[in-house]
Amino acid sequence: MLETIWFAVWGVAWAMYCMLDGFDLGLGTLLPLLARNDTERRVIFNAQGPFWDGNEVWLITAGGVTFAAFPKAYAVMFSGLYLPLLLLLFGLILRGVTFEFRNKVDSPAWRSVWDWCMVVGSFVAALLLGVAFANLFRGLPIDGAGLMRGDFWSLLNPYGLLGGVLLVLLFAVHGSLWLAIKAEGELKLRAAAAARFLWVPMIVTVIGFLISTYASTRLWHNVLAKPYLLVLPLLAVVGLVGVRALVARQSWWWAWGASAVGIAGVVLFGVAGMYPNLLLSSLAEEYSVTAFNAASSPLTLKIMLGVVLVFLPLVLFYQTWVYRLFRDKVTSGMLASDQSY
């Protein structure tokens, strides 16, 4: 029972991360396409500036849950997937330091370098995260000793790359909707147009990914074995289709919320379809790392569950307060503040 609870916590942490930091990564990826001058680029930076580091708390939570609740899965994952996870980390670091370094020197060339660091870091992080998840769904060549019999390039298979493209597009639409909430004038119109334009390839990719998932993985088989789990792909479809209708009504907050629900539905569908596997072996099912053979002791799981029940509401309260405090649009007056990026 405890193992199942912690598996659910693990999945929810990943869903929360993709919902929240997803719009940051999407905005970073679209920076050169949406912003036409330095003022507009500063608007994009300030639209995510108060939120990005708090959003990454959920990435730390997901990694912490893996380390503390499922140490064997953590060991196998971070040894077998060392290079892609290191590149993901470098992408996130590159994106993060950009916020602090961009305005340290009053030079267009200096700012341009860091703007491209934001683009590259955001795109690489989103792409590799999607590739990693798709390969987890498909299965990795893990042997009986917990060693991965493959290399980095084997992860760049068609299904893995499709998962990467899917997450890039999901985050790009999510980020466009967030900018439509936070920006004004031409930049807001450009963000809205981007959300409308990118919605079509996003939906096509979602459909293609779901079909490929049926052909390449056992996710659908596992979900259909427990029909109540069908609510998760349904949630994804309703959320992502709802984005289009809400964008047409220019209900930007609701559209962004629908996009968040759609992203959560996609992630939770994949995680639920993996259960009880954390790392599915493509070599032999008995080599798979599961929530049961990778879990910490029952006492450890109980103590940590108590910690989560105390601190998780505090994290949610704090993040809700931050989003409420910085809910206003980014204006030229805000850019003149010493606290702006």
Q: Which DSSP string do the residues of 47-60 spell out, in sequence order?
A: HHTTTHHHHTHHHH
Quote the pLDDT of residue 153.
Answer: 86
Residue 229 lies in a domain: yes
Print burial letters for 49-80: b (CB count within 10 Å at least 16), e (below 16).
bebbeebbbbbebbbebbebbbebbbebbeeb
CA 151, 152, 156, 162 torsion: positive or negative? positive
Query: Residue 334: its pLDDT value, please?
Result: 81
Model pLDDT, residue 149: 85
Locate the DSSP E strands across the chain: 277-279, 289-290
Cβ contact 213:219 at 8 Å: yes
Residue 341 lies in a domain: no
Residues of the chain with pLDDT under 50: none
What pLDDT score was predicted for residue 317?
A: 94
Single-letter amino acid, residue 75: A
Judge whether 310 lies within some domain. Answer: yes
Is residue 247 situated within a structural domain? Answer: yes
Q: What is the DSSP letter of 280?
A: -
Q: For residue 213, what are the contacts with CB-CB under 8 A and spacing of at least 6? A: 137, 219, 220, 270, 273
Number of domains composing the chain: 1
Q: Is residue 308 domain-resident?
A: yes
pLDDT of residue 333: 78
CA distances, 60 to each of 56, 63, 124, 207, 316 (Å): 7, 5, 18, 30, 15
Res 338: pLDDT: 64
Burial of 131 (0-12, 13-18, 19+ CB in 10 A): buried
Q: Could you tell me the residue range of the domain that residue 184 belongs to?
A: 2-335
Contact predicate 88/132, CB 8 Å: yes
Q: Is 307 among the domain residues?
A: yes
Specify the DSSP class assigned to residue 233: H
The pLDDT, as a whole number, for residue 78 is 85
User: Contact 140/280 with Cβ under 8 angstroms?
Assistant: yes
Closest CA to 80 of 131, 127, 143, 129: 143
If you count DSSP H runs as helices and E runs as strands, how many of each does the chain have, helices first?
Answer: 14, 2
DSSP bridge partners of 289: 279
DSSP percent split of the chain into helix, strand, coil, nearest 5 = 80, 5, 20
- The span from the CA of 204 to the CA of 48, in Å, is 28
